[in-house]
Amino acid sequence: MTPDASIWNSSEYDHLDVLTASDLAWEWLRRNDHYDADFEALSSESGAPEPLTERIRQRWGLRFPCRSPESTT
């Protein structure tokens, strides 16, 4: 199936030029119906967030960096 290019408006995507690699990856991942379904299914489970984070990381190749320690000075 070929998408209908007549409705394409490239100006809607001008902001993509200034995104970081991780921001760009998120723009496309969040539009993925399979990712959305997985996230909804996994996030509806009760319990600690660590298993959810690990399962999402393994399935979708995502990394969740730890926050840097706050300065004590």
* Cβ–Cβ < 8 Å for 50, 57: no
Write the pLDDT tens digit of every residue in 14-43.
777 888 888 888 888 888 898 888 888 777
Please check whether residue 19 is in contact with residue 27, taking contact to mean a CB–CB distance below 8 angstroms. Answer: yes
Mean pLDDT lowest among 5-9, 26-30, 56-60: 5-9
CA pair distance 19, 40, nearest whole angstrom: 26
- For the chain, first and last CA: distance in Å? 59
Which of 49 and 55 is assigned the larger pLDDT?
55
Domain ranges of the chain: 22-61
Environment class of 53 (CB within 10 Å of its CB; exposed 0-12, middle 13-18, buried 19+): middle
- What pLDDT is attached to residue 28? 83
